[in-house]
Amino acid sequence: MTSGGDAPGMNAAIRAVVRTCVYYDREVFGIYNGYEGMIKGDIRKFNVRSVSKILGKGGTILKSSRSDAFRTEEGRATAHQALTEKGIDALIVIGGDGTFSGAHQFSKEFNFPVIGIPGTIDNDLPHTDYTIGFDTATNTVTECIDKIRDTASSHNRLFFVEVMGRDSGYIALKSCISTGAIAVMLPERKLSIEELIAILRKGFANQKTSSLVVVAEGNPNGGAMEVANLVKARYPEYDTKYTILGHLQRGGDPSCFDRVLASQLGVAAVEGLIDGKSDYMVGTTNNKITYTALAQCVTISNPIDEELLRISKILSI
């Protein structure tokens, strides 16, 4: 099952789960439309051909949704009944912290074996170096910002580019470094407008003819439009523009990295269930497969990488 926001590489994980189940002679079913589909019994038996030609396809063939009904005891009981009627005795969920919170609650209430696969472009889950979709999303953002820089340089403009990240600034931070942006504004670190203007003035004093600032949508000062207007109001001499990249960051074919990561985690999820593991998230740490209790993955978020933040400041001069 996939749930929450879609992420490039989810299909690769679905493929890996299905083919690993077939390899180990286990029956496997696909649940459509997330927890809502589980409640409604939208569950179909899969075989090895069910996942042909999806490895490099973006989005999720199982569809995704958010379910208010699953937040209730009645909804979860209905979902459990739907699984047992199909003879299903274990669950693999692909998603982020909201998905894992539901899976953890479900596993506890019904003593039901569950393994979570981290699939979210935000890279905001702890106990795994990367989540499925993050690499593809940052590659997409980098490509877009490179194109924006072309026009910024042609017109000596100051561009604010808004990227996804309500609570996590990983996309913003990585793309800031990869595109040579002069500053990054994150949910985790409040950069005041005064501090930002000081950075911009220093850049112009160093003969910068154009500048780019990457703004995470969860930045405390607002998104790219709000920040651009605040700067423009105080310094109208700046030729200021903004761009909101939006949902194009979620789309596109998954990168090689995400396809391989999703394949590794899909295999490990099935093998973990076969070995008797339950209520765990499978991830990677230092290129090694790890299993972490879901309870530890939903109570804290992945802290911002201080070393990357330090590097971004050094290279932005």
Catalytic site residues? 122
Q: Are 180 and 315 in contact (CB under 8 A)?
A: yes
Token representation of residue 224: 């790219």
H or E element in which residue 91 lies: strand 91-95
- Token pair 């999303």 is found at 137
Q: Are 308 and 173 in contact (CB under 8 A)?
A: yes
Q: For residues 59 and 11, give the distance between their C-alpha atoms in angstroms, rounded to a whole number.
A: 7
Q: For residues 175 and 134, give the distance between their C-alpha atoms in angstroms, rounded to a whole number.
A: 11
Q: Are 216 and 165 in contact (CB under 8 A)?
A: yes
39 alpha-carbon distance from chain centroid = 25
CA quadruple 14, 36, 95, 108: dihedral positive or negative? negative
Q: DSSP class of residue 221? A: T
Q: Are 51 and 15 in contact (CB under 8 A)?
A: yes
Strand ranges inside 190-295, DSSP E: 211-216, 240-244, 280-285, 288-293
Q: For residues 276 and 300, give the distance between their C-alpha atoms in angstroms, rounded to a whole number.
A: 25
